[in-house]
Amino acid sequence: MTSHELPPDNCPACGWEVAAVSPSDPRRKDKPKPGEVTMCLQCGFLAAFGPDMRLRRLSRRRLAAAMRDPDVQLMVKAHMDLWGGRQQ
């Protein structure tokens, strides 16, 4: 699986250190872009990459739109299947 290094950052929700990202689709090889939604693997929090590639909280409207995205739905389902909705 492809992994891309990120500027050192922390999840806005749980504070987990985030230093790299891997795409939810293993066929995808390109780096994430500002504005794209990602998920903290520790707590499942959805965030977007800012212009500096640091994690930003989503507005309620943006979160609602993200939850309609099939790729985001897949990430949420995978996290729930893995962790059962509990933080590790």
State the Cα angle at 80 between 2 and 71, rounded to 5°: 50
Structure tokens at 57: 């909280």
> Which SS3 state, helix, strand or coil, does residue 9 take?
strand
φ/ψ (deg, to 5) at 6: -125, 160
Residue 33: other Cβ atoms inside 10 A: 8
Every domain of the chain and the residues it spans? 4-83
Tens digits of residue pLDDT in 28-79:
777 889 999 999 989 999 999 999 999 999 999 999 999 999 989 998 998 8
Answer yes or no: is pLDDT of 8 > 80. Answer: yes
Residue 76: the pLDDT is 92
Taking the model in full, what pTM does it have?
A: 0.84
| Buried-exposed string 35-45: b where 16+ CB fall within 10 A, e elsewhere | eebbbbbbbbb
Which is more confidently placed, 3 or 34? 34
